[in-house]
Amino acid sequence: MTKEDVAKTGTTTIGLRIKEGVILASDQRATMGNLIAHRDVQKVYPLSDNIGMTIAGLVGDAQLMVRYMQSEISIYSMKRGSQMSVAAAATLVSNIIRRGFYLGLIVGGCDATGGHVYSIDAAGGYIEDDYTSVGSGSVFALGSLESSYRADMSKKDAIDVAITALNSARRRDSASGDGFLITYIGPKGYEEIPQDQIKMRCAELGFIYPN
């Protein structure tokens, strides 16, 4: 079986560190070579109440990584009686991914030191940044983010910035599209932005929601 024969999230994922937390976002398309295999794929996952992760790469590898991290963070919290920090979660993911996972990930969340966003590559390298994008559409998303990102953005403004970057990617990258997922993680925890709110913001920004 070749890599073209398995479902991949050749994708656009985004992480933003903002004034009070982080935004994680993605499209929802999965491909098998030139075939659009699925149009409703989850690519933003909660790892705990304060940490989330976006996925790009092989779907099976991504789902296994999510389950493993959710278990490890839960065990850590039970043993320590406290939440795992975002930096510790990113370090753990970077160590695990070196075992042969075909993935590109973003780990983001909010802890006692504020909001943090890390991009993690398939070789185990991880870098903290104010904003990042991973996946086949990332070059287009990053161009949009370069011009619109501000560290002091509100949650509402950051959602608009994420939507604009995802829209740029889905218009130019054939492996990105079929809906948007957006999550906000702040002092009160993990919050999925409702689809009707995302569609409303797309309409007000003048974008056609990619369904």
For residues 210 and 178, is the Cβ–Cβ distance under 8 A?
A: yes
Structural tokens at position 21: 């937390």
Q: Looking at residue 8, what is its pLDDT?
A: 57
Annotated catalytic residue within 11, 12, 132, 183: 11
Q: Looking at residue 168, what is its pLDDT?
A: 95
Q: Is the dihedral of CA 110, 116, 119, 122 positive or negative?
A: negative
Residues 4, 35: Cα–Cα separation, whole Å: 9
Residues 18, 92: Cα–Cα separation, whole Å: 24
Q: Looking at residue 150, what is its pLDDT?
A: 95
For residues 43 and 9, is the Cβ–Cβ distance under 8 A?
A: yes
Q: Looking at residue 2, what is its pLDDT?
A: 42
**pTM for this model (two decimals):** 0.93
Crossing angle for the helix pair 59-80 and 86-97, to the nearest 10 degrees? 140
* CA 177, chain centre distance (Å): 14
- Going by the DSSP 8-state scheme, the letter that residue 99 receives in this structure is T
**Contacts of residue 138, Cβ cutoff 8 Å, sequence gap at least 6:** 12, 13, 169
Q: Which domains does the chain have, with CATH numbers?
A: 3-205 (3.60.20.10)
Q: Looking at residue 10, what is its pLDDT?
A: 66
Active site residue 11: yes
Q: Looking at residue 31, what is its pLDDT?
A: 85
Stretches in the chain below the pLDDT threshold 50: 1-5
